[in-house]
Structure 1
């Protein structure tokens, strides 16, 4: 059940890459609510959870369905620009029309196969659907329906208190790493076709349909058309390992993709994924060409007797494995294997095995 981004009619100019503190805050809240999913941040999670004030802890428990498996669209960028501060992003919530706010919150609170417009048109049925999921979801749904503006005010106050109690300090710590990732991805946009650029942010993605779409391997069946809409690529540290893709009407498409700290060793699963990518015979053959010189996609296609889309798909997988660099020179983009990264994989594999 894949997620498919339909790129037909989309332009690279519609894609923005940047950081979003409210998205990272939501990732932190999800990790605090589901710590078993985020063992690599266990020390930070334990320390932060123990320091929470009782009042904030109670409100986080109340609102927990908003950052459960589905994640709330309200706590991802509501509009561009990216790279703003968390107070500005929280303030955007106050300007969102009430109906849009209610439907976005309702979709996440119910968390199943549900038309969020029912929260406005048929509120009793919406509440019953949430109660069927859990008592806490039912209570949260009732408070949303009974007084949407009070619900919004308490949520915004809760987010602001999170910033004061723990997130401002954590954002200061991770901000530079996220900005570096965004800058690197932005530089790739200048030299890569749109399908390759989007697929480069995750090993779970690959260009398909001759570069007219990108397929994400997720337990979700969704097709999102990018034509006529802006697309925001936003890196996350605390969201790792989850990849979140959202494409609701009226909001920008968001790809919230996980990245690691520089010093953080790869997991055994990540190493297995990279080795699987490199073990493909066609990719190994490409690497033999790319290790000695920088080559264009067209030239590789000619040498390998492949089509350009076939070569592009293989290059995207090599880039996902972290061993390919691409640079533009004039009208052409040249690819080359990063020998140092390839050698480092041996060290990382040993670390993953003995850890």
Structure 2
């Protein structure tokens, strides 16, 4: 499973690394709404939440579906502008000005993308003009609660008013806590974007993408960017650009904008010392499947306690050596056991460091 971006004909000059204050605002709001997703910034989320003005906190809750479940495209408005070449603004004010340049239909569609439509990246209806589409949006909003129904009604009836409300909310969040955050992280994000741009020019697209994340790569044909995620999606750059936005608050998320008729965009967490490379979806699937078999679970109980040969395991479990070998092969392919040779004997042992990370790898995989 993956999200693929067709970059056929895309030149390096149309690949841009650029920080975005509005995207970082979205990441900050998401971290505040779902602190369990972001244990690395738990101290910050706790202190900000404790100091929030109750009125501002209530306003944030009113529209938190824009950032709680995932990351709404309203935080990356540059991707929706005509020509598909616009870069994020340098300041929050500039980015909010870009948001104002989106059409009402684009704004409504992006605001309702996760809870009021069946599939991201497809837009077959115009909710502002189609009564059936409006009714369906309200029906889907009802499943999320009365506050979202009210918000959706207001959004469908008067998009400019909600757009102004959203702008004011972002400005108040900036004054309350985000300006301090942006002041601390902006130079780090600018430096990361500069380093990635330099790598792109010196080494090429494949190396630059690999530096973004172990979950981002160029396929063998060199015509598609592949983002390893537990989801499926596809888009293309066409005559537009590809923009990659670094975030300091986003880990473990790796957001990919692949909305139809919008500029493809990847928001990636900047690397931190000591962090392991992300486990691929394929490897995670192999490991969980390998452990799902009861015989292999019993073998793991033995192998967690020490090193054993195939023959020893066969005797202990009342099975033949070939049967044990087949199960060991599955565990080894999944990277769950290590094998060392002692003379003519091969001894196998469970890799406890890999197994201990499995829960975290699963959480990171589904949140990515």
For 2:255 and 2:145, the matched residues in 1 are separated by: 24
Q: Which of 158, 162, 165 lines up with 2:176 in the alignment?
A: 165
Contact 2:215 2:227 in 1 (8 A): yes
Contact 1:195 1:213 in 2 (8 A): no
What's the CA shift for 1:109?
4.0
Whether 1:145 aligns to 2:153 is no
The corresponding residue for 1:177 is: 188
What's the CA shift for 1:87?
1.1
The corresponding residue for 1:308 is: none
Gaps of 5+ in 1: 277-348
Whether 1:234 aligns to 2:263 is no
Contact 2:3 2:229 in 1 (8 A): yes
SS in 1 for 2:10: coil
For 1:137 and 1:13, the matched residues in 2 are separated by: 42
SS in 1 for 2:274: coil
**Which stretch shifts more, 86-95 or 128-137?**
128-137
The alignment's C-alpha RMSD in Å is 2.3
SS in 1 for 2:138: helix
What's the CA shift for 1:70?
3.5
The corresponding residue for 1:91 is: 97
Alignment of 1:173-212 (within 5 A): 173-212=184-223
Whether 1:119 aligns to 2:127 is yes
The corresponding residue for 2:37 is: 37
SS in 1 for 2:171: helix
What's the CA shift for 1:245?
0.5
For 1:84 and 1:53, the matched residues in 2 are separated by: 27
SS in 2 for 1:248: coil
For 2:103 and 2:74, the matched residues in 1 are separated by: 12
The verdict on how the C-alpha distance between 1:221 and 1:87 changes in structure 2, with shifts beyond 3 A counting, is same
Give the TM-score normalised by the residue count of structure 2.
0.68
What's the CA shift for 1:126?
1.3
SS in 2 for 1:156: helix
Query: Aligned residue pairs: how many?
Result: 272
The corresponding residue for 1:81 is: 87
The corresponding residue for 2:140 is: 129
Alignment of 1:201-350 (within 5 A): 201-261=212-272, 264-266=273-275, 270=277
The verdict on how the C-alpha distance between 1:6 and 1:196 changes in structure 2, with shifts beyond 3 A counting, is farther
The verdict on how the C-alpha distance between 1:272 and 1:102 changes in structure 2, with shifts beyond 3 A counting, is closer
For 1:151 and 1:265, the matched residues in 2 are separated by: 43
The corresponding residue for 2:330 is: none
Q: Which runs of 4+ in 1 moved over 4 A?
A: none
Contact 2:21 2:182 in 1 (8 A): yes
SS in 1 for 2:166: helix
Contact 1:77 1:89 in 2 (8 A): yes
Whether 1:17 aligns to 2:17 is yes
Gaps of 5+ in 2: 80-85, 284-353, 358-368
What's the CA shift for 1:83?
5.5
**Which stretch shifts more, 170-179 or 249-258?**
249-258
What's the CA shift for 1:227?
2.2
The corresponding residue for 1:61 is: 61
The verdict on how the C-alpha distance between 1:101 and 1:255 changes in structure 2, with shifts beyond 3 A counting, is same
For 1:143 and 1:84, the matched residues in 2 are separated by: 31
For 2:109 and 2:279, the matched residues in 1 are separated by: 41
The verdict on how the C-alpha distance between 1:23 and 1:38 changes in structure 2, with shifts beyond 3 A counting, is same
The structure that has the greater radius of gyration is 2
What's the CA shift for 1:217?
1.1
SS in 2 for 1:214: strand
Q: Which of 103, 109, 129 lines up with 2:109 in the alignment?
A: 103
Give the TM-score normalised by the residue count of structure 1.
0.71
Contact 2:116 2:136 in 1 (8 A): no
